[in-house]
Amino acid sequence: MLKNRLIATMLSLIVGLSCLLSQNVVAYAIESAEESLISSGIAPILDPSVNKEIKMEVEEKEELNIDQKFEKEQQRIGEELAMADVQKALNVRAEADENSEKVGLLYKDCGGTILERQGDWIKIKSGDVVGWANEEYLLTGEEAQAMADDVGNWVASIETDVVRVRQEPSMEAEVWGYIARDEGLEIVEVMNDDWISVEFEDKVGYVYTDCINVRYHIDEGETMAVIRAREEAEAERKRLQNRGRVDASADETRLLGALIYCESGNQSYEGMLGVGAVVMNRVKSEAYPNTIHGVIYASGQFTPAMSGKVARAYEGNVPEACLQAAAAAIAGETTVGGATHFRRAGMREGYVLGDHVFW
């Protein structure tokens, strides 16, 4: 019994000491939502070195107060920031050479971090773009800072796994939500040493300053791979963009279906629709007749129409897929954008669908 009481007393003393030791840790853990003490069970009580490690980690995070964090970032951008001094875009190259491969673009008002210098060239990192740019088209030092002041904004970067965003600057306040490590929130205002206000899902929220660092955000450049992917996606969007419906009778729909059958009856539905879209794009163009019949039978345009093949198909059996493609083209659908011509693939550049190229 005496032995049990002694053990209980010793444990109580150790718990008391560990609570005093970890007061700052608790505040930090509450706001960071890491709950390190809770998840570690009795280990911090029986092994004081665990608390020591946690305390050292927290003290390292608390080494700078919020004002000092801002000052440190200001110093960094003063020393490392480069801003594109162009009206449109600045080429970023793989090597410090005008003839080197282009790896990305830095647009007007974009910036990056200076990595090194070589003659008249500066190696920068801007988002995923890393490469060399001619210093003639870059601002550095005070000039870069002045431009950045006009186009940048302060962001709170999260330094723990998860941080609570509260509705008021208090640990007792309700929580709007959570923000994960490496994500950023635009800073609205520094409330005091412990709290900043941030933009969070169209609301103003509050974050504990020990859980964040600050950085000055500048728009970043784009790699050539990203640019090419975006251009390809835009071209695809235009290729498929609805061109607007045209009123047409059942006879005109059947006539267009007959032409589609004669020109591309052995092609995919996309290819059939492409032929129908060419006809409808011409109907909408001032350079061609403004009716389906007029376009199809315009002199020297569609060989099957001139030979009588379209008329025979019209009077016979037009496949359902061709009629569907005709109706879709009349409704404004397209697989070839605004193309007004097509011929056998391999003859020129354009949208290639099966055996045909459209332009």
Q: Comparing 56-65, 85-94, 265-274, 335-344, which segment has the lowest mean pLDDT? A: 56-65
Average pLDDT over all residues of the chain = 83
Please count the CA atoms within 13 angstroms of the CA of 290 that sit on its side-chain side. Answer: 2
Contact 260, 295 (CB under 8 A): no
Does pLDDT of 37 surpass 80?
Answer: no
Tell me the mean pLDDT in the region 302-325.
93
Tens of pLDDT, residue by residue over 103-115, are 999 988 889 999 9
> Can you tell me whether residue 204 is helix, strand or coil?
strand
Q: How confident is the model at residue 227 (pLDDT cuts 50, 70, 90)?
A: confident
pLDDT for 331: 94
The pair of three-digit structure tokens given for residue 30, joined into one six-digit string: 């509450």
Compute the average pLDDT of residues 163-183: 91
- Comparing 32-46, 159-173, 279-293, which segment has the lowest mean pLDDT? 32-46
Between 242 and 66, the higher pLDDT residue: 66
The percentage of the chain sitting over the pLDDT mark of 70, rounded to a whole number, equals: 83
Contact 313, 263 (CB under 8 A): no
Higher pLDDT, 156 or 20: 156
Whether the per-residue pLDDT at 1 is higher than 80: the answer is: no
Residue 234 banded pLDDT, cuts 50, 70, 90: confident
What are the residues whose beta carbons fall under 8 Å from the beta carbon of 118, sequence distance 6 or more? 96, 132
The model carries a pTM of: 0.55
Q: What pLDDT does residue 90 have?
A: 94
What pLDDT shows up at residue 54?
42
Q: Do domains 74-151 and 241-358 have the same CATH topology?
A: no
CATH code of the domain made up of 74-151? 2.30.30.40
Q: Look at residue 13 and tell me whether its pLDDT is greater than 90.
A: no
DSSP, res 174: P
One CATH from 1.10.287.130, 1.10.10.2520, 1.25.40.10, 1.10.1060.10 for 241-358: 1.10.10.2520
CA 342/CA 324 separation, integer angstroms? 20
CA distance 26 to 208: 13
Give per-residue pLDDT as tens, 56-85. 444 444 478 999 998 888 888 888 999 999
pLDDT band at 7 (very low <50, low <70, confident <90, very high): very low
pLDDT reported for residue 29:
52
Q: What is the mean pLDDT of residues 156-173?
A: 91
What lies within 8 Å, CB to CB, of 180 at 6+ separation is 158, 161, 162
Among 42-51, 71-80, 161-170, 269-278, the range scoring the smallest mean pLDDT is: 42-51
DSSP tag of 195: E
User: 269-284 and 250-264 helices cross at what angle (nearest 10)?
Assistant: 130
Joined tokens for residue 73: 């970032």
pLDDT 10s digits, 178-213: 988 878 888 999 999 999 999 888 789 999 998 899
pLDDT of residue 27: 54
- The string of DSSP codes covering 177-227 is EEEETT-EEEEEEE-SSSEEEEEETTEEEEEEGGGEEEEEE----EEHHHH
Q: What's the CA gap between 18 and 141, in Å, rounded?
A: 48
Lowest mean pLDDT among 27-36, 146-155, 229-238, 325-334: 27-36
Please state, in angstroms and rounded to a whole number, the distance separating the CA atoms of residues 133 and 84: 9
Cβ neighbours around 71 below 10 Å, total: 13
Could you tell me the pLDDT band of residue 149, with boundaries at 50, 70 and 90?
confident
Q: Give me the residue label for tokens 């305390």.
A: 55
DSSP β-ladder status, 121-126 and 162-166: unpaired
Going by pLDDT thresholds of 50, 70 and 90, the confidence category of residue 18 is: very low
In CATH terms, the superfamily for domain 156-217 is SH3 Domains (2.30.30.40)
Domain range annotation of the chain: 2-61, 74-151, 156-217, 241-358
